Amino acid sequence: MDHRTLLRAMFDAAVTAAHPSHCLPPHLPAPPANGRIILLAAGKAAGSMTRVAESFYRERYGLGPDRLTGLAVTRIGYGEPTAFMRVVEAGHPVPDEAGLAATRETLALAASAGEDDLVLVLLSGGGSANWIAPAGGLTLADKQAVTRALLRCGADIGEINTVRRRLSDIKGGRLAKLAAPARVLTLAISDVPGDEPGVIASGPTVPDPTTREDALAVIRKYALDIPEPVRRRLDDPASETPKPGDPAFARAEFVMVAKPADGVRAASALAAKAGYEVIDLGADVEGEARDVAAAHARIALDAAASGKRIAVISGGELTVTVRGNGRGGPNQEYALGLAAALEGAAGLSAVSGDTDGTDGGAGKADDPAGAYVDSGTLARAAIRGLDPAEHLSNNDATSFFEAIGDLLTPGPTGTNINDLRAILVR
């Protein structure tokens, strides 16, 4: 197996380990004796999770639309075919009108739940943008402006969601509060470092341990210019979220069905089978993409000096502080930073990709997921007159790797456990 084929196989192994067809059925409960299953799904895996759950309940229990109802909201291009469950495609990472309308319907479905019903919530990363319900008189434009500002400043996902919970009628435990006293079971695919339930899709069904002051601190930290209605909302005590101990969570349960560590484990197993000694840097790596790339390059170069066959593998979620006007995302920027730091060193190759299938970009389903790097990357770029430092300063990794044919483009994968990075040292 050539090195790029192995790298792609490792990426695919990570995706397979966390795909709903593999991880979801063991956790799906029996239907309630006298009530309905109200299935509410959001995120990049919402289409595939809904398809798997619908098939499970139709085939095992013979449920039809009278006992199984609900709505899924997923990113544009991430929908999957179902028999009768509705799947709505909406904007991500910036929310849109389709998401707004679908979220209103989701809230109405939750509010309709009775004590005998089961509200089955299927969550995955991306749900924060898909479930958009502006609170306190805010408009969609206000929410879009805040989202863009948070994405551009380099804030991590925890900081972003701390702010978004206070601007929403669905996030931060409010969905569970609305569905009570029905039983609420949340089955989630984690895409966040630490697998914190409150961070995945901004925690719509779990108590929120963060505070309004935490959200204001994020705004101050990045000196964000936010719309005045948003600032008034954050200053209003009414924006505070339900906390641990709230009776709304008495019948609410949260189960993680797949985690980033599952993907790292699957990729590591494949590398070990191919004869590589694995250095596992963990599934929760965070930081500025180019800085992490430089650190990983030093690890790889030190490993190369040992003369061993080594695979340096990591997961997590990197960030990019946008200073230019190019195209890219954290995985592509990491790959470009890695290529520059490795300086064409022989015997090294790498891949960095977002397991949902797309990395930043224009929000299209065919955006690249990441990129490949090897000892010939800089030489191929030089032939085309490409300067990696120039592309890095302009946050334009996509154009760089597109020109040399090194983009990773799997398309939507049906799951989302964040980034998978692997460096092979031969």
Single out the residue in 258, 290, 319 at which a domain terminates: 258
CB atoms inside a 10 Å sphere around CB 193: 20
Dist. CA 126–CA 49, nearest whole Å: 13
With respect to residue 71, please indicate whether it lies within any of the assigned structural domains. yes
Full domain range(s) for residue 338: 261-425
* Same domain membership, residue 309 and residue 247: no
Residue with tokens 């009768």, as numbered in its chain: 84
Q: Are residues 203 and 319 in the same domain?
A: no
Residues 319 and 252 in one domain: no
In the structure encoding, which two tokens stand for residue 249, read together?
A: 């969570």
In a domain, 347, yes or no: yes
Give me the tens of pLDDT residue by residue for the chain, a chain 426 residues long.
799 999 999 999 999 999 999 999 999 999 999 999 999 999 999 999 999 999 999 999 999 999 999 999 999 999 999 999 999 999 998 889 999 999 999 999 999 999 999 999 999 999 999 999 999 899 999 989 998 999 889 898 889 989 999 999 999 999 999 999 999 999 999 998 889 999 899 999 999 999 999 999 999 999 999 999 999 999 999 899 999 999 999 999 999 999 999 999 999 999 999 999 999 999 999 999 999 999 999 999 999 999 899 999 999 999 999 899 999 999 999 999 999 999 999 999 999 999 999 997 666 888 999 999 999 999 999 999 999 999 999 999 999 999 999 999 999 999 999 999 999 999
Angstrom CA distances, 248 to 163, 181, 182, 243, 348, stand at 22, 7, 10, 10, 53
Tokens of 141: 């434009």
Rounded to whole angstroms, the Cα distance separating 80 from 85 reads 10
Per the DSSP assignment, residues forming a β-bridge with 119 are: 38, 184
Q: What is the pLDDT of residues 83-136, one digit of tens each?
A: 999 999 999 988 899 999 999 999 999 999 999 999 999 999 999 999 999 998
Could you tell me which residues are beta bridge partners of residue 189? 124, 258
What beta strand segments (E) does 175-300 contain?
183-189, 252-258, 277-280, 285-288
Are both 44 and 105 inside the same structural domain? yes
Whether residue 75 is found in the same domain as residue 178: yes
338 and 197 housed in the same domain: no
Query: Which runs of E-coded beta strand occur in 212-309?
Result: 252-258, 277-280, 285-288
pLDDT tens across 272-296, in order? Answer: 999 999 999 999 999 999 999 999 9
169 in helix, strand or coil?
coil
Helices 157-164, 140-153: inter-axial angle, 10-degree rounding:
160
Instruction: Write the CATH number for 94.
Output: 3.40.50.10180
pLDDT value of position 37: 98
What is the count of structural domains for the chain? 2
pTM for the whole thing?
Answer: 0.91
pLDDT at 361 (0 to 100) = 64
Examine the domain organization and report whether 65 and 118 are in the same domain. Answer: yes
Same domain assignment for residues 173 and 289: no
The answer as to whether 57 is a domain residue is: yes
Distance CA 52, CA 50 (A): 5
- CATH code for position 294: 3.40.1480.10
Which pLDDT value is given to residue 304? Answer: 94
Looking at the fold, whether 310 and 407 belong to one and the same domain comes out as: yes
Burial of 398 (0-12, 13-18, 19+ CB in 10 A): buried
Let me know if residue 73 belongs to a domain: yes
| pLDDT value, residue 151 | 86
Give one word for 223, left, alpha or beta, with left for phi > 0 and alpha for psi -120 to 50. left
381 is written with which tokens?
């770029």
Query: In terms of domains, do 254 and 334 share one?
Result: no
Residue 354 lies in a domain: yes
SS (H, E, C) 120-146: EEEEECCHHHHCCCECCCCCHHHHHHH
Q: Which of 220, 257, 246 is nearest to 120 (CA)?
A: 257
The answer to whether 124 and 191 have CB atoms below 8 angstroms apart is: yes
Is the CA virtual torsion 257, 259, 263, 268 positive or negative? negative
Neighbours of 291 (CB within 10 A): 13
- What integer pLDDT is reported at residue 203 of this predicted model? 94
Cα–Cα separations (whole angstroms), residue 166 to 223, 260, 267, 319 = 18, 27, 37, 22
Inter-residue contact 76 to 91 (CB < 8 Å): yes
Whether 87 is covered by a domain: the verdict is yes
Contacts of 59 (CB under 8 A, 6+ apart): none
> Which residue is listed with tokens 């005045």?
228
Residues 247 and 297 in one domain: no
Instruction: Check residue 362 and give its pLDDT.
Output: 67
Whether residue 12 is contained in a domain is answered as: no
Neighbour tally for 107: CB within 10 Å: 19
Q: Is residue 224 part of a domain?
A: no
Identify residue 277 by its one-letter amino acid code. Answer: E
Of 426, 411, 294, nearest to 11 by C-alpha is 411
Q: Give the angle 244-248-254 at the CA atoms, nearest 5°.
A: 70
Q: H or E element: which one contains 398?
A: helix 397-404
Cβ-Cβ contacts under 8 Å for 112 (sequence gap 6 or more) = 38
Q: Are residues 127 and 253 in the same domain?
A: yes
Q: What pLDDT does residue 1 have? A: 75
